[in-house]
Structure 1
Amino acid sequence: MKSIAIMGASGHCKVLADMALLNGYDDIVFIDKNPEIDMLAEYPVADEDTDLDYYIEHHYDFIVGIGDGKIRRKVQEMLEERGADIVSLIHPSAVVAYDVKIGEGTAVMAGAVINPSTVIGKGCIINTSASVDHDNVIGDYVHVSVGAHTAGTVTVGDNSWLGIGTIVSNNIDICADTFICAGGVVVKNLTKPGKYAGVPVRFVPI
């Protein structure tokens, strides 16, 4: 039997459960802090406060199903400290070049493409139909949203989020803690953390 525990109980977690099934897992459980939830779709939801140690001690594989990168980092680092076996999940329809390096806890969704000589960090989400071209360096806990595309030789810093449909031109560096709004087009390096929007993107003061 192949077993996996998915941290969280949300729509994103349901997508991860489907990917787990397609990767041969036949024992799937969600773990969440909300004691009022005991089922999500057809899968049981265990209580994090009382049940987490059981799944770690019984050597379940773990992945974090939380969309917010900072929370995802916090939960994954907690699991690492407790000795959990953290895995990545890659949808069978994704196209991942032979030499791509993918960190623990990363999810590569249906229809995504990751081209050669790219490095993907820990705890990332490469979402449905996103593409990451050759020689990219994607930092830890980055979310490349549905239909977002990065051209060749792009660097994206830790904890950043490329919104739905984002386009990043080639040879671009995006600093850590950057949020690109849906449909944004990045044609210059972004060196200041924060929120950007538009075509091309401009910094959005809070």
Structure 2
Amino acid sequence: MKPVLLLGGGGHAAVVLDVLTLCDVPMAGYLAPSPGRLDLPYLGDDSLLSTLSPSDYRVALGVGSTGVMPLRRQLFERAKRWGFECVTLIHPRAIVARSAVLAEGVQVMAGAVIQPGCHLHENVLVNTAASVDHHCELAAHCHIAPGARLSGGVRLGALCHVGTGASLLQGITLGDHCLVAAGAVVLGNWPAGSRVKGIPATQF
């Protein structure tokens, strides 16, 4: 099994490293703009990736987000452009239905639940104790933050961010680049680029 290079050195990188360790994935070190506090060799900044061979290493993204996530998407696309496989991660204490489809680079963290019929596209992050109920579809690079709840049949466009503790009613559709603030309760559909907060959620 090819060892993994962790991209990032902050808080989310520490969480990803824990999952990799629990899953007995061999690690080579991490790349970040400057050394962090990870218990892993620091190899240099992200530019080093272009000098390494995808036949020798895989990568795991250690960058989260607090909003729509261009940096996380950029790192994923850069790694793919250079030919690297992005590791798909499932914490041993997450629950993922057998019929769920997880694309390359998806990360499902501790206590998260992915129910039957769900489809998570490339580089989706379902964070700690979040839940995605039956037959949801999450387009590429979405982030479901800790404790957020998606009811059945929700559809999210690319690069959506659902904040900590937010809830989406069943069957709702959000367009690309939508931001749902922490604690919001979303009762209806919203077009691309919407930013919503509150109970019930309204535009801000």
- Give TM class, smaller chain: over 0.9
> What is the match of residue 183 of structure 1?
183
In structure 1, runs of 5+ residues without a counterpart are: none
Which of 55, 60, 68 lines up with 1:63 in the alignment?
A: 60
Change (3 A) 1:79 1:186: same
- For 1:72 and 1:200, the matched residues in 2 are separated by 29
Conserved? CA contact 1:145–1:165, under 8 Å: yes
SS at match of 2:43: strand
SS at match of 1:86: coil
Q: Share of identical aligned residues, percent?
A: 29
TM-score under structure 2 normalisation? 0.93
Q: CA deviation at 1:174?
A: 0.9
Q: CA deviation at 1:67?
A: 1.6
- For 1:105 and 1:146, the matched residues in 2 are separated by 18
Q: CA deviation at 1:121?
A: 1.1
Conserved? CA contact 1:2–1:24, under 8 Å: no
Amino acid at match of 2:59: F
Q: Larger deviation: 119-128 or 19-28?
A: 19-28
Conserved? CA contact 1:137–1:155, under 8 Å: yes
> What is the match of residue 155 of structure 2?
155
Amino acid at match of 1:59: D
Whichever structure has more strand as a proportion of its residues is 1
- For 1:14 and 1:166, the matched residues in 2 are separated by 24
SS at match of 2:41: strand
> What is the match of residue 12 of structure 1?
12
Conserved? CA contact 2:9–2:38, under 8 Å: no
- For 2:92 and 2:54, the matched residues in 1 are separated by 29
> What is the match of residue 105 of structure 2?
105
Q: CA deviation at 1:58?
A: 5.2
Instruction: Tell me how large the CA RMSD over aligned residues is.
Output: 1.6
User: Cα deviations across residues 67-118 of structure 1 (Å, max 9, x unaligned)?
Assistant: 2321111111111110112111110000000011111111100000000010
Amino acid at match of 2:43: A
Amino acid at match of 1:52: L
- For 1:52 and 1:191, the matched residues in 2 are separated by 36
Q: Which runs of 4+ in 1 moved over 6 A?
A: none
Q: How many residues align?
A: 201
Q: CA deviation at 1:59?
A: 2.2
